[in-house]
Amino acid sequence: MDWLSFAAKGLTGSPLWLVVLYFALVTQLTIFAVTLYLHRSQSHRGVDFHPLIAHVFRFWAWLTTAMVTKEWVAIHRKHHAKCETEEDPHSPQIHGIGKVLFHGVVLYQQACKDRALIEQYGTGTPNDWIERNVYAPLPALGPTLMALINIALFGAIGLAIWAVQMLWIPVLAAGVVNGLGHWWGYRNFETSDTSTNLTPWAFFIGGEELHNNHHAYPSSSKFALRRYEFDIGWVAIRVLSFFKLATVLRVAPALSERPNVSIPDMDTVRALLTHRFKVMGDYFHGVIMPTLKAEAERAEGQMERLRGKFRRALANDGRWLDEASRERMRTWVRERPALARVMEYQRSLAATLERSGRNGEALAESLRAWCDEAEKSGIAALEAFSRRIRGYQLVGA
């Protein structure tokens, strides 16, 4: 084979369809190395992989991203611990959506320089000989070898494939998930951050598109939590589990309702604490929105409508609005007594569920008092919601 032929097609001389297939496979494997190994397994301990599979993922992440396991895990754990605060390594609420979306890799590199952060949050990650002597001290060697492999296989087009490979995680993970995943999309759960689901059919970024679901249940190895949602990463885990190459450690427990439960008990408490974000989301859709609609009907269309971000902000009492906008929303609410009452009950319930460090019986007593008051409110939607949550219980683990 002469040099000109090698430069054009590499050693394989592969047709275009095979080059495209190769590109799809290697980029998807990179996504899996990040979402399955770095994220679900190492960061959150939701799944364990057979040592051989775990090392394949670790090697591939080094080869195609130059990321060190301990650093990635530490930065991600701090993101959860300090989400949407000044200490969050990559919050668009703090750094701006443009910065995170287009320069997320820069924020990641800056966080890597904080060795105190890495040591504090990176515990429990691999520390064997190859990690200490190859992966951690020589991160750039991996992408260099990947470039040589691609060029050898496909010639000049292999270099183009390599360039896109190097952009795959910085663009899709550091940019899209960390940026748009806290900026745009839909929310199943009223988490204490701005996380969103980008799409219910999560297959392009390995399931990471279901970001709000993940923030609601961080340790769950399964991100799809609605019947209509699909998580390709979970499919991969189930396939590996079938061949005894993966062990699922945690998934989000299901929530069920016991009929005719008159007094909230410890099963109720455990269910509400575990699913507090879902409960608050249900409150918004099942109590606040019907009350808002009833207010509009009583006003016979004369009521000024609350639109856009203000209407969505009722779900979290305006937590993510600026001070002026929050006061404008609350003034609007105060002028509508029924809506003001259900918003007050919302704040009271949220405060109760956030007292997770309290004695279980004391918390159960607070829930009983809240339910008793709610069912005497004279607001039909609130009364129905209260009767329903009395019987909540967890199913599965």
* Positions in the chain whose pLDDT score sits under 50: none
Residue 268's CB is within 10 A of a number of other CB atoms, namely 23
Among 375, 300, 374, 291, which Cα is nearest to 333's?
A: 291
CA 98, CA 248: separation in Å to the nearest integer? 36
Q: Are the C-beta atoms of 73 and 125 separated by less than 8 Å? A: yes
Residue 309, amino acid: K
Can you read off the two tokens belonging to residue 60? 């591939």
Strand partners, 395: 254
Q: What is the pLDDT, as a whole number, of residue 174?
A: 87
Q: What is the pLDDT, as a whole number, of residue 3?
A: 60
CA 314, CA 306: separation in Å to the nearest integer? 10
Residue 26, amino acid: V
Q: What is the pLDDT, as a whole number, of residue 156?
A: 85
CA 38, CA 346: separation in Å to the nearest integer? 37
Q: What is the pLDDT, as a whole number, of residue 285?
A: 93
Spatial CB neighbours of 215, under 8 Å, sequence gap ≥ 6: 80, 83, 189, 191, 193, 195
Torsion of CA 125, 129, 33, 191, to 10 degrees: 10
Q: What is the pLDDT, as a whole number, of residue 165?
A: 93
Residue 310's CB is within 10 A of a number of other CB atoms, namely 17
Among 163, 242, 193, which Cα is nearest to 93's?
A: 193
Q: What is the pLDDT, as a whole number, of residue 55?
A: 97
Residue 376's CB is within 10 A of a number of other CB atoms, namely 11
CA 75, CA 169: separation in Å to the nearest integer? 15
Residue 111, amino acid: A
Residue 28, amino acid: Q
Q: Which residue carries 């279901």 as its tokens?
A: 210
CA 6, CA 374: separation in Å to the nearest integer? 76
Q: What is the pLDDT, as a whole number, of residue 357?
A: 57
pLDDT digits (tens, 9 = 90+) for 162-205: 999 999 999 998 899 999 999 999 999 999 899 999 999 999 99
